[in-house]
Structure 1
Amino acid sequence: MTATAVPPPVTVVRTQPERIGPLLGLAHGLTLAKRNLRYAVRTPSSLIDTVIQPVLFLLVFVFLFGGAISGTWQEYLQTLVPGLMVQITMYASIGTGMALSNDISKGVFDRFRSLPIARSAPLVGAVLGDVIRYVVAVAVLLALAFALGFRVQTDPLSALFAFVLVVVFGLTLCWLSVLVGMVASTPQAVPGIAMAVILPLTFGSNIFADPETMPRWLELWIGVNPVTYFVDTVRGLMIGGPVAQPLIVSLFAVVVAHLVLLPLALRAYLRKVR
């Protein structure tokens, strides 16, 4: 009787995943940002907040309320447009959390885990894609505003700085949107939660009307609302007025928001992608 040969034991070597550098991680994020933009182009319904909202807000508020607030809609147009630039980016930032939550619910993140990409790439891609959405939203708003008669009363460099500041403000709120998207139970819950924060910030500000015409308690809230200072800065840069003091407060608000929201958003995101 011959003995059966016993195969040698197999040694399983567990290899650690290759460490991905920040530049390669950024490249992965840019690739996923292109993916998000292609999806937005192929699904026009996802562009409602980017293209349709600026048009609707400008037309509705200028022609329905312009005469009652400022006497003529032409005069109200000059005051309203800088404020709407801030508001539109705030609303557009909601798309970041919705996109991330939607990808997680559909299992897209499970596919990302099987790819040799940085764990931060989907988040970086969503945020970078939103930069383009902010630029498009504000550009659409300004194009219509100029067609209606809005004019920059300072200089092109100041107007460009106002544009950049609005985009920076939108990026700051991206982290709030990411946080909401990571803690919300479903993608459909993200807009409701985010709007519960954004609505008091926008309508409880000086975007639409002079705070001096409002009740004292609301005027006090507007005085501490950071959106008020962003609007004052953008107005000063585009149509004239004080800039230094509201700009300092605005930049301070950006720093504080990043210090608070960024760690919370990253922690919630990393917990989801593990």
Structure 2
Amino acid sequence: MTTTIERPGAAVRATPQAAGRIGLDQAVRNTLTMARRGLLKIKHNPEQLFDVSIQPIIFTLMFTYIFGGAISGDVASYLPIIIPGILVQTVITTSIVTGTQLREDMDKGVFDRFKSLPIARIAPLSGALTADVVRYAIATTITLVMGLLMGYRPGGGVVGVVAAGLLVMVCAFAISWIFALMGVVMRKASTVQGVSMLVLFPLTFMSNAFVPADTMPGWMQAFVKINPVSHLVTAVRELANNGHAGMDLVWALVGAAVIVAIMAPVTVRAYMRKA
């Protein structure tokens, strides 16, 4: 009788090798499973939705009633300007959470436990990015509903509004790759959030999101004209208010594609080194 003794840890070392041979179809399934995990975290920790549920309401009320009369003469005239601006500002800001939660999971050792599972190594990262799309959808819906309750009547109709919402979500998903990279390479979630806000706030406030660019100083107008957020806001306004798809829509989509083309491989490479 012959007895075969396995070396301790042999099965564990075989797991990453098996994961390396995982096909695209299983990688997609693993990604969706991890995305479901992210949604379950929200279910058990609903305060994670405070930024996408409370912030749109507060910002819409505050900016509309503070600046509406001064900029457009009355609130009703200001709504077609401010609602698309608030929509872009809220959804893009929401994408910061991708990086902070990714960093928190890595600090807690959650991703270390995923290494021992026979899943695609990229699934925890791609699943987190996919789950955040739900957050963008919630922020978009709440902002638009709030605008409608306040009297906003978009001339682009249902098709224009839906197209504007999808455009913002696509661009937010693209930008989330930047914050995901920050979450991978930075050491603390608080640092990721602080640096992200430092970068994002000037881009959103130094744009045409809240006031017309022609009311700004000349040097700031020059920045606003090349600011990618301004192109996105203009595209959203044209779609929602007029149902028109102009060059700003093209620039917004091209910008999103360029960000993904550059940042996705860099983020994945950095993540794989950590994973």
Same fold (TM over 0.5): yes
**Partners of 1:8 and 1:26 in 2: CA distance:** 41
Cα offset, 1:271, TM superposition? 1.7
Structure 1 residue 232: deviation in Å?
0.7
Alpha-carbon displacement from aligned partner over 1:111-156 (angstroms, at most 9, x marks no partner): 1011111111111111111111000111011111111111111222
Note the alpha carbon deviations across 1:166-206, whole angstroms, 9 max, x for none.
11011011101101111221112111011111112101110
Which stretches of structure 1, 4 residues or longer, exceed 4 Å deviation after superposition?
A: 7-15
1:192 to 191, 194, 219: 194
Amino acid at match of 1:60: M
Which residue in 1 is equivalent to 2:34? 32
Segment drifting more, 16-25 vs 195-204: 16-25
Within-5 A mapping of 1:1-274: 15=14, 16-18=17-19, 19-240=21-242, 243-273=245-275
User: Per-residue displacement from partner, 1:189-245 (whole Å, max 9, x unpaired)?
Assistant: 111011111112101110000111101111000111111111111100111286321
**Which ranges of structure 2 fall in alignment gaps of 5 or more residues?**
none
- 2 CA distance for matches of 1:237 and 1:11? 64
- Other structure's SS at 1:158 match: helix
Partners of 1:10 and 1:134 in 2: CA distance: 53
User: Which AA in structure 2 matches 1:28?
Assistant: N
Whole-angstrom CA distance in 2 between matches of 1:191 and 1:176: 12
Partner Cα separation in structure 1 for residue 5 and residue 248 of structure 2 = 68
**Number of equivalent positions:** 267
Measure how far apart 1:56 and its partner are.
Answer: 1.0
- Measured after TM superposition, the shift of residue 9 of structure 1 is 8.9
Gaps of 5+ in 1: 1-6
Task: Confirm or deny: 8 A CA contact 2:71 2:211 kept in the other structure.
Answer: yes
Is the Cα contact below 8 Å between 1:134 and 1:167 reproduced in 2? yes
Q: Which moved more, 1:248-257 or 1:53-62?
A: 248-257
Q: 1:210 to 1:242 in 2, by over 3 A?
A: farther
C-alpha separation between the residues in 1 aligned to 2:243 and 2:120? Answer: 45
| C-alpha RMSD of the superposition | 1.9
Asked if the contact 1:49/1:91 (under 8 Å) is kept, the reply is no
Helix, strand or coil: the match of 1:128?
helix
TM-score (norm 1): 0.92
| 1:259 shift after superposition | 2.5
